[in-house]
């Protein structure tokens, strides 16, 4: 409201002109009648002369404003002192003119003039120190702005007070903080871009080089026996499948990054999704002598979610759990209510992830050393599965995380918020 009022005044100089003319006259009338009990004829005479001198003073002040005289000064301190000096001079001239026309005795005029000069000099002294306080704080702001312009984004201001300058300093600190965050994000994005190029180049070069060697061997007749040719063909198909998965994962990750992922929310059975996931992974688990089972809370019925996305999350997490679970261990998928959320845990025994690795699991292309080698089925991971899972869960408004201990194993957990 105060800002709107100040804006209204600045946009209407006529209001300022009238206010500076009427307010002093009204104040003088009130003081003359209530405090000094002046006669009516003296008040009328005083108002007449004050109106005339007030109009001239207001016109002169408005002229200074329109001409931008104060903008010619190189220092705010001199501008403030000039304003105070002009104010004192205006007061002196007004009082002197009114005293002359109202036939006040010369003795009293001299005494009043001396008092006005004293008051003016005192006001200049006070104005000097007041202006110094403001200019010192503005100098700090100027120095901080120069440092920020030179790239020092850690620059911060400590300016006490509650006025506009301190508010400007607070705004400056917020701006510097935001710029620092943007710069840090920019650096992280740049590093991620470099890593992405390196990782994608590696994941593309490896299968392409492998297929090239095998196809050239078959084309040149180096390999002729049926068993080796069939093995080369199967390996090439596995590499092509790996490239297809990589391209699909990159496409989904790009959709997540730009926020163009289309999600169809509706109520579906989480029990059916878990059952389907376990069924599709059972052959792989049996090949590694891993026990795969699911547990769904009886109170869980239909869950609000995007079934295709959650199916993808479950498949990624269960496949990942089986990949890192030793033989004769187990993988358990459990779903249950946790307050207003549906929580799903994928626990695998016998595996351990160090604490320094846990925070990086959901980064794009991050893979531990154990996952680098190609699996027995000839399929390598793209390193994007957990990053995509995180994107899908966050798109549902949920959270995904991992915990691991040497005694109990590793658990990947995520939540799906449900409306009460």
- Three-state SS string over 153-183 comes to CCCCCCCCCCCHHHHHHHHHHHHHHHHHHHH
Highest mean pLDDT among 65-74, 227-236, 247-256: 227-236
Please say if the pLDDT value at position 369 is more than 50: no
Burial 42-81, CB ≥16 within 10 A → b, else e: eeeebbebbeebbeebbeebeeeeeeeeeeeeeeebebbb
Highest mean pLDDT among 9-13, 17-21, 128-132, 362-366: 128-132
Cβ(172)–Cβ(138) under 8 Å? no
The mean pLDDT of 266-284, rounded to a whole number, is 89
Please say if the pLDDT value at position 375 is more than 50: no
The mean pLDDT of 28-48, rounded to a whole number, is 63
pLDDT at 104: 57
Closest CA to 57 of 32, 82, 20, 28: 20
Distance CA 307, CA 304 (A): 9
Confidence grade of residue 301 (pLDDT, cut at 50, 70, 90): confident
Q: Are strands 330-338 and 400-405 parallel, antiparallel or unpaired?
A: unpaired
pLDDT at 334: 94
Distance CA 250, CA 244 (A): 10
pLDDT at 315: 87
Helix axes 164-219, 106-149, angle to 10 degrees: 10
Distance CA 56, CA 310 (A): 80
Q: What is the pLDDT of residues 220-249, one digit of tens each?
A: 888 888 888 888 888 888 788 777 777 776
pLDDT at 362: 79
Placement of tokens 């599709």 in the chain: 280
pLDDT at 16: 59
Distance CA 346, CA 358 (A): 15
Please say if the pLDDT value at position 78 is more than 80: no
Confidence grade of residue 71 (pLDDT, cut at 50, 70, 90): low
**Tokens standing for 381?**
């991971």
pLDDT at 370: 41
3-state secondary structure of 404: strand
Instruction: Please tell me which residue, 356 or 250, carries the higher pLDDT value.
Output: 356
What are the extents of the domains in the chain? 12-173, 174-262, 269-420
Chain centre distance of CA 1: 28
Please say if the pLDDT value at position 346 is more than 60: yes
Confidence grade of residue 8 (pLDDT, cut at 50, 70, 90): low
Distance CA 282, CA 404 (A): 24
Cβ(93)–Cβ(116) under 8 Å? no
Closest CA to 77 of 133, 159, 140, 16: 133
Domain 269-420 belongs to what topology? Heat Shock Protein 90 (3.30.565)
CA 24, 25, 26 angle in degrees (round to 5)? 95
pLDDT at 342: 92
pLDDT at 373: 39
Q: What is the pLDDT of residues 13-30, one digit of tens each?
A: 566 556 655 666 666 566
Distance CA 141, CA 137 (A): 6
pLDDT at 3: 52
Instruction: Please tell me which residue, 363 or 290, carries the higher pLDDT value.
Output: 290
3-state secondary structure of 124: helix
pLDDT at 25: 62
Please say if the pLDDT value at position 276 is more than 80: yes
DSSP-assigned letter for residue 325: P
Cβ(29)–Cβ(43) under 8 Å? yes
Q: What would be the CATH architecture of the domain defined by 174-262?
A: Orthogonal Bundle (1.10)
Q: Are strands 409-417 and 341-348 parallel, antiparallel or unpaired?
A: antiparallel
Please say if the pLDDT value at position 312 is more than 80: yes
pLDDT at 20: 58
């Amino acid at each position: 409201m105060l800002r709107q009022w100040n804006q209204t005044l600045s946009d209407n100089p006529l209001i300022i002109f009238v206010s500076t003319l009427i307010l002093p006259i009204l104040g003088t009338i009130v003081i003359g009648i209530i405090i000094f009990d002046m006669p009516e004829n003296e008040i009328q005479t005083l108002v007449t002369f004050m109106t005339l001198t007030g109009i001239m003073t207001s016109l002169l002040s408005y002229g200074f404003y329109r001409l931008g005289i104060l903008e010619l000064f190189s220092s705010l301190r001199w501008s403030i002192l000039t304003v105070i000096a002009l104010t004192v001079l205006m007061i002196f001239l007004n009082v002197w003119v009114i005293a002359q026309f109202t036939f006040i005795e010369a003795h009293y005029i001299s005494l009043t003039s001396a008092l006005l000069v004293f008051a003016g000099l005192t006001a200049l002294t006070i104005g000097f120190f007041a202006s110094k306080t403001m200019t010192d704080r503005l100098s700090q702001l100027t120095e901080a702005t120069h440092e920020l312009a030179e790239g020092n984004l850690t620059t911060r201001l400590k300016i006490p007070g509650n006025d506009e300058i301190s508010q400007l300093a607070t705004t400056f600190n917020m701006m510097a903080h935001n710029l620092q965050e943007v710069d840090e994000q920019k650096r992280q994005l740049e590093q991620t871009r470099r890593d992405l190029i390196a990782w994608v180049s590696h994941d593309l070069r490896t299968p392409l080089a492998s297929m090239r060697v095998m196809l050239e061997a078959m084309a040149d007749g180096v390999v002729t026996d049926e068993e080796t040719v069939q093995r080369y063909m199967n390996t090439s198909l596995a590499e092509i499948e790996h490239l297809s998965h990589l391209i699909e994962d990159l496409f989904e990750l790009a959709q997540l990054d730009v926020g163009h992922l289309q999600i169809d929310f509706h109520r579906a059975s989480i029990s059916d999704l878990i059952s389907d996931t376990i069924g599709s992974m059972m052959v792989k688990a049996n090949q590694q002598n891993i026990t795969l089972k699911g547990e769904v809370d009886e109170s869980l019925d239909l869950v609000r979610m995007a079934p295709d996305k959650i199916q993808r999350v479950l498949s990624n997490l269960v496949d990942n759990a089986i990949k890192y679970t030793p033989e004769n261990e187990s993988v358990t998928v459990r779903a249950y209510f946790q307050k207003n959320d549906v929580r799903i845990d994928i626990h695998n025994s016998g595996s351990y992830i160090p604490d320094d690795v846990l925070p990086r699991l959901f980064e794009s292309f991050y893979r531990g050393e154990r996952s680098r080698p190609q699996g027995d089925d000839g399929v390598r991971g793209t390193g994007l599965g957990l990053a995509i899972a995180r994107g899908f869960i966050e798109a549902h408004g949920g959270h995904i995380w991992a915990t691991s201990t040497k005694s109990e194993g590793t658990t990947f957990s995520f939540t799906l918020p449900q409306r009460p």
